[in-house]
Structures are given as C-alpha cells and as structure tokens.
Amino acid sequence: MTLSEYVLKRNGVPLGAKGSLLKNLENSFGAESNVLFWKYWNPIWGFYLSKYIYSPLNRYLPKSISSIVTFAASGALHDLAIGLLGLGWQNFLTIWFVMMGVFMSISKSLNISYSKFGFFIRAVINISSITICLFLAILFT
C-alpha cells in the first residue's frame, strides 16, 4: 500500500486534498475508541511507523507488545528531533508515548468503546486519555 492509498483509507480524502487536515482531526477526536483515535491520528507518520516498525515487529511479537514498542520508537524519534534541534536530550516523550501505547493496548484488550456518546464527549475522552498519559509520564520522569 502506498502512502497516498494509506492516507485515503484513513481520512476518506486524498493526501493533500482541501479539508484533509480538518477531516483527520474530526476522525481522530471523534473516534469511538482509543484504538481508532490512533488509527486516524497523523496518518503520514502512522504509515511509516506501521511499515518500518510495527509490521516487522508484529511478525515475532504479540500485537500489544508490537504496538507499545512502536509507540516507544515514535517517542524516541520525537526526543531525537528535539535533541537535534539543540533543545536538550531527554527521554520524556519516549516515556509519554509508552504510556499512550500501554493505555491503547489496555483499552483494546478491554474492548472499550465510546460509540454511544456524541462527538463532543468522544473528543473529551480522547483528549483526556492523552492528558492522563502525559501526567503519568510527568510522574515517572
């Protein structure tokens, strides 16, 4: 699958199309579960993480472990980018992303769904999950 096909599948609109960012945000924040939030969030980054990290790991590890390691790698790459920009080397984003990966894996194993709620409540739940993981990461650093 190409990047363009992946983005079209995730967003429902072609890569770079008018309104694609708005559609991406609508899909992500209005997602009916934490798993779906991450499915829709940043499809370009997700394409490369899936292709080069998650899929190869998933051949040898359980999906939940592959997901958490992929989140960790994403966080580490974000930390690396901050370090390369001269803003100091850290591991905070790696820890935060691991927390989000664990949260997603737990919510998936418990089959948690927010489908009975409207868009606004789903958005609050999705934003809250990220915020809770942020506070947990702060506690662990």
pLDDT tens digits for range 31-47: 999 999 999 999 999 99
pLDDT digits (tens, 9 = 90+) for 53-96: 999 999 999 999 999 999 999 999 999 999 888 888 889 999 99
Residue-number span of the structural domain to which 18 is assigned:
3-140
Backbone angles phi, psi at 7, to 5 degrees: -65, -40
Residue 10 has pLDDT above 90, yes or no: no
Q: Which of 55, 45, 39, 44 has the alpha carbon at shortest distance from 15?
A: 44
CA–CA distance, 2 with 36 (Å, rounded to integer)? 20
Confidence of residue 113 (pLDDT cuts 50, 70, 90): very high
Report pTM.
0.91
Q: Average pLDDT of 5-13?
A: 86
Number of domains into which the chain is organized: 1
The one-letter code for the residue type at 139 is L
Distant-in-sequence, close-in-space partners of 68: CB < 8 Å, separation ≥ 6: 98, 101, 102, 105
Give the 3-state secondary structure of residue 111. Answer: coil
Kindly list the distances between the CA atom of residue 100 and the CA atoms of 7, 27, 49, 59, 104, in Å, as whole numbers in the listed order.
22, 18, 15, 22, 6
Q: Which of 59, 127, 137, 60 has the alpha carbon at shortest distance from 98?
A: 137
